[in-house]
Amino acid sequence: MVDVDSLVDVKNGMQAKRIFWDEDIYKLELEKIFGRCWLFLTHDSIIPNVGDYAVTFMGEDEVLVVRQRDGSVKAFLNYCTHRGARVVNAEAGNARGFTCTYHGWAFGLDGSLESVPFEKEVYGNVLKKDTLGMKEVRVESYKGFWYGNFDHNAPHLADYLGDYRWFLDIWMEGTGGAELIGPPARSILKCNWKTPTENFIGDAYHVGWTHAASLKAMGGPLGVLAGNKHLPPEGAGVQITSRHGHGVGILFNAGPALMSGEEGAMAAKWYAENQPKVAKRLSEAQAKYYGGHFNASIFPNNSYLWGTNTFKVWHPRGPHQIEVFTWTIVEKNMPQELKDAVRRSMLRTFGTAGMLESDDSDNMESMTNLNRGPHIVTGVLNSQMGLGNEHEDAESGNIIGPSAIGETSYRGFYRAYREYLKAKDWDEIRANNGKWKDELLNR
Amino acid sequence: MEELNPVAHEIYIEVQQVLFKETRMLREERWREWLETMVEKDIVYRAIVSQLRFRKDNRYTGEKDVPSLDENWAGLDRRVAQMESGMQWTTDPAERVRHFITNLEVFQGKTPNEYVIYSNCQTVRNRRVYEEMTYCYGRNDIWRRGADGKLRLARRDVDVDERFVSGKNHNFPM
């Protein structure tokens, strides 16, 4: 039995190192977090047409996501209900149905079992085909981004995102929508799934140091941070944490990020031209953040950078390994020339050969693997930066840390993490809706 | 595919020696020298992985190529500058990268000064104490002979076999 209270100290911003290593904690995470949080599946732009499908993971479960004949989307566990073989071996495509490779049981786009070879001859009347469809998973979308959930008692996706939508809308809605480009790159990292999630959710501190060489070489608005020569000035950014643990750090007016020269100028021009449109479509308050650089995670394992334009899912593969899915993300209405430049910049920074991606992965792996030592794993980790400086954000309803660098969203992530691990069910989590801020604000 | 004409034996040997020299230069971390002396200014340097699709599926409209690298000269210059910065702690202590280049075919290119070069590569990369990573890929190169008679890399398309990156990343000279 895992003593959840001993794992996270929210008020003092500390976490037990065991959460990055122990098998029993990982099993609890699969059940209580991956078993009932909304997990990213795919985007409208990947499966636009009837019969389009993509295969992905929810936690360790392989999932097939399919565009239906009525335009809706359904998702199924990717195994045959007969003897459990994988149904679809491709990663994406377009199909009229899905046939298992083992005995040829055939399923429709809607997952129903349509035909069984020699059914009459070999089964007679035994088989109840209407109960043997592929096992369906609940799905919902927000602005074209599809997520799945194993728990039918979970709140709707829009409510799960909650007040955090205020920050999502800035780029998901502000200029007419966002889209993912191409199939995902896939890579294995030997680290715990929470390590990159916490890094993306709110670690502006490491940027100038971990990425010193990359920033120095690349220029662009983030380049000035290289080697910790400069701290972002007072009022240069904020960090946010929200009800269900989603968080974001924003560095104002750093949108072109690591694009310099002509490409940087093209990006800067786009942001400047569109800021008034965002103000009109959303609000002045949201437009203030548009054109900034966002580092963010949607709880539990979906991270993105806006400005460096990467969109990632950290699929867990045991407590010590993840499979990373990486896409480029762009605003739909960007001119093609800018989309291409953004994609090249993403590949250079956070793609599978990315200069900054390689910096991060080295840290992430050692942060996990050193825990094999029994004396190392008993330690605690510190995320106390900016402790006591947070307050409620009147504009968005979230908690805000009023500096570019701080660990507010770390603390919010692990607060939510503890809440999920402790709660018996979603009703128990809902009961905390009115008081989730108390511990973080120490009141 | 258009029929390509193989080159004379002397040119084949010359190209082979240039490719071997290139890998040795990169192995010895002579990045700037490589960029300045062996790479054309209009270089296109790409690496792709392929998404798994069913053979008969011709209806899906999504891209199949998964780019890992898509660089021009300026991008390669930034990567070299990263190594020259004196701050690149991920390669300190140094990594060791050894290329094996085989199945070499050399053809006459579109102009008398260009050669189309196919090869298979296996690259073994060691870093830190325990990380040994092997990458298997094909390269389609175009090398161009300059006015000085020297061959320089004008285009490289790397086609990586492994669908996922088991060896951490593709951030090494491919």
Q: What is the DSSP string of A273-284?
A: HHHHHHHHHT-H
Instruction: Dump the DSSP string for B9-22.
Output: HHHHHHHHHHHHHH
Q: Where does A40-193 have alpha helices with state H? A: 157-161, 165-172
Q: In which residue are the tokens 């195994």 written?
A: A79
Residue B70: which pLDDT band, with cuts at 50, 70 and 90? very high
Query: Phi first, then psi: what are they for B47, rounded to 5°?
Result: -135, 135
Helix then strand count (H, E) for chain A reads: 13, 22
Question: CA gyration radius for chain A?
Answer: 22
Residue A256: which pLDDT band, with cuts at 50, 70 and 90? confident
Tell me what the mean pLDDT of segment A49-56 comes to. 98
B134–A contact, CB cutoff 8 A:
no
Provide the residue type at A5 as one letter: D
Tokens of B83: 């190594």
CATH T-level assignment (fold) for domain B9-52+64-160: Nuclear Transport Factor 2; Chain: A, (3.10.450)
Can you say whether the dihedral through the CA atoms of A288, A293, A298, A299 is positive or negative? negative
With 90 as the cut, is the pLDDT of residue A81 above it? yes
| Residues A141 and A248 sit within 8 Å (Cβ to Cβ) | no
CA atoms within 13 A on the CB side of A60: 10
**Residue A231, pLDDT score:** 81
Share of chain B above pLDDT 70, in %: 99
Q: How far apart are CA A206 and CA A200, in angstroms?
A: 10
CB contact under 8 A, B168 and A182: no
Best residue in B43, B46, B60, B97 to probe A by mutation, most A CBs within 10 Å? Answer: B60
B78 interaction partners in chain A (CB closer than 8 Å): 217-218, 348, 355
**Residue A383, pLDDT score:** 97
Annotated active-site residue A163? The verdict is: no
CA of A363 vs chain B CAs: smallest distance (Å) = 9
Residue A59: which pLDDT band, with cuts at 50, 70 and 90? very high
A51 interaction partners in chain B (CB closer than 8 Å): 59
B170–A contact, CB cutoff 8 A:
yes
pLDDT, tens digit (0-9, with 9 covering 90-100), for B81-119: 999 999 999 999 999 999 999 999 999 999 999 999 999
Q: Which of A9, A22, A44, A103 does the annotation list as catalytic? A: A103
| Residues A15 and A414 sit within 8 Å (Cβ to Cβ) | yes
CB contact under 8 A, A353 and B170: yes
Q: In which residue are the tokens 């690149």 written?
A: B88
Annotated active-site residue A152? The verdict is: no
pLDDT, tens digit (0-9, with 9 covering 90-100), for A223-254: 888 888 888 877 799 999 999 999 999 999 88
With 60 as the cut, is the pLDDT of residue B64 above it? yes
**Residue B80, pLDDT score:** 97
CA of A349 vs chain B CAs: smallest distance (Å) = 10
CB-based burial, A248-267: b 16+ in 10 Å, e otherwise? bbbbbbbbbbbbbeebbebb
Tell me what the mean pLDDT of segment A129-143 comes to. 98
Provide the residue type at B28 as one letter: E
Domain ranges of chain B: 9-52+64-160
Task: Find, among B75, B86, B68, B173, the residue nearest to A259 by Cα.
Answer: B75
CB contact under 8 A, B53 and A187: no
Best residue in B95, B125, B165, B166 to probe A by mutation, most A CBs within 10 Å? Answer: B165
Whole-Å CA distances, B84 to A210, A217, B87: 16, 9, 8
> Cis ω on the peptide bond leading into residue A221 (within 30° of 0)?
no
Share of chain A above pLDDT 70, in %: 100
Residue B2: which pLDDT band, with cuts at 50, 70 and 90? low
Q: Which of A43, A211, A246, A320 does the annotation list as catalytic? A: A211
Task: Find, among B117, B102, B121, B124, the residue nearest to B27 by Cα.
Answer: B124
Tell me what the mean pLDDT of segment B3-14 comes to. 95
CA of B7 vs chain A CAs: smallest distance (Å) = 34
Query: How many A/B residue pairs have CB atoms within 8 Å?
Result: 137
pLDDT, tens digit (0-9, with 9 covering 90-100), for A172-199: 999 999 999 989 999 999 999 999 999 9
Instruction: Dump the DSSP string for A371-399.
Output: GGSTTTTT-EEE--TTTT--EE-TTTSSE
Mean pLDDT of chain B: 96
Query: Phi first, then psi: what are they for B79, rounded to 5°?
Result: -65, -40
CB contact under 8 A, B47 and A353: yes
Tell me what the mean pLDDT of segment A321-338 comes to. 97
CA of A191 vs chain B CAs: smallest distance (Å) = 11
Annotated active-site residue A70? The verdict is: no
CB contact under 8 A, A185 and B57: no
Share of chain B above pLDDT 90, in %: 98
